Each structure stands twice: as structure tokens, then as C-alpha cells.
Amino acid sequence: MQTETFIHPSSVIEEGARIGAGSNIGPLCYIGSDVVIGENVRLVGHVTVIGATTIGDGCTVWPQAVLGGPPQNTSHKGGRTTLTIGKNCTIREFVTMHVGTDNARGATIVGDNGTFLAYSHVAHDCTVGNNVTLTNGATLGGHCEVGDNVGIGGLSAVHQFVRIGQNAFLAGGSMFVGDVIPYAIAMGNRAKLRGLNVVGLRRSGMSKAEIMTLRRAYKTIFDRARPLSENLEIARVEFADSPTAMKIVDFLSARGKRHYAVPPLKGAVDDDADED
């Protein structure tokens, strides 16, 4: 591991910027005066970091990424807002992440160990959890909330203010205008749920028994014979001993008036995974 900081002579570092030990700033980078870069960060080259942006230790940022740009929101009046990126993130070519707006949360927060592939975008005031992957061209609108261990497929778009629950998988080429519950798979133009992310749950180490409990809870919550609100109360009692099932119940119960929850595809309330 490199112990000395290296800055290529062709890069521009504004006075006031802070760069941690062991970081490597490649050629033709621009780093603004309000930027904080952690230790052992690598900017490969042609990277722009501006605004009040903090990049955590161990991140790698590839050419043409622009981090900390102002929000694409006409209500923002230019006040100081922030972008904070966690540790050990990989940020590939042409990725953009914006600071928050000065009339809202005022902060965009990205967790640790994220992977952001080429041309993906994190808009103003988003909160992105740990171990999140945005595949090529995936886009988050403003104010989105993304839980831990979420995967978003290439060329998918998430509408502003949408919440994505932990361990969900969003298929490529899809449009998400409503909240996606934890542990689910969702896909389509104006996406619908396609069941549980069983493969992802297995990879995370979840037991077969807990996955089966989640599948029963999923059926109960989305039983079309009753209103969703009634199903949630039934599930809250029936699955009270399952912390994972309760995460889905609590996620749906906590949605605000502006939040529409993505429903299952019509005629399908179970996932299509095998029982093995």
C-alpha cells in the first residue's frame, strides 16, 4: 500500500482541499477548495471533484467522473450543501453524483463498499446504503432512499422520492415510480414486483426456513382478497417472530402520502424461485 500522497503535476488542487495520506491523484484531475479526500484514495485521471464533497478511504474513481456538482433542481439557490461518499467505493467512468439542495435535506450520502458503473447517476439529497451496486446507466432521481445490499440493473431509472428496501434487486431497463419492498425483485416499464430475491438472500446467508417464512409473509401482505392495510395488520401479528418479515411490514407501514408501493404483477403474488 502506498504511504505517500502522489499528485500528478497536471492536476489542479484548489487551496483548502484536503487529501489524505497514501492517496494517488492521477493526471488532469480537478479538486475544489471544499473537498476532503480520505486516505488511500485513487483518482485514476480526468476526475472532477467539486463542492463540499468528502470521499472516504480506499475509494477508486475512474476518468470523467464528476462528483459534487450542483443539484439539477431549480429550487436550489446556491447554498452550501454536501456530498459524502463512504469507504472503499468503486466509481467508474462518467459517473455523476450531486450535492443536496439547500431547501431540503441538504446532503447526499453514499455508503461504504458501493459499486457505481459507467454513466450511473446519484441525484441530490439521495441516501444510498452500504454494498449497493448501480450498473451501467442506472439513475437515481432526487431524494431517493436506497437500502443496503441493493442491486440496480443497467439503464434503469428510479423516480424521485422513491424508497428501495434492503436486499432488493431492480432489473435492468426498468422504470421505478414507486417504493420497492425489501428482499424483492422488481422489473418492467412502471415496474412490478416479480417475487423475492431468493438468490440474493441465499448468497447473503439467510436460512431456508427464514426464506420460506418470507415467502409466506409476501403472500399474506399482497393477498388481493383484502386491502393492503388489513393485510399488513394480519402479517404484523402472524410474523411477529420474524425480523426479516417485519422489515417488509414496517417498510410498507412507514410510507408517506407521496409514496406509492410497487405491487406484484397482476395474477402473481409468489416468487418463481424453486423450493430447494
Count Cβ atoms below 10 Å from residue 191 Cβ, excluding itself. 23
- From the list 142, 147, 151, 178, the catalytic residue is 142
Name the catalytic one among 46, 98, 124, 143.
124
Could you confirm whether 111 is annotated as catalytic? no
In angstroms, the CA 136 to CA 116 distance is: 8
Active site residue 125: yes
* DSSP-based three-state secondary structure for 237: helix
- DSSP 3-state of 29: coil
Alpha carbons 95 and 135: distance in angstroms, whole number: 11
Give whole-number Cα distances, 6 to 39, 44, 97, 186, 217, in Å.
11, 12, 24, 44, 53
Residue of 44, 56, 85, 87 lying closest to 68 (CA atoms): 85
H-helix or E-strand containing 174? Answer: none
151: helix, coil or strand? strand
CA distance 76 to 39: 31
Q: Active-site residue among 125, 147, 151, 165?
A: 125
**In the annotation, is 34 catalytic?**
no
Catalytic positions are 124-125, 142
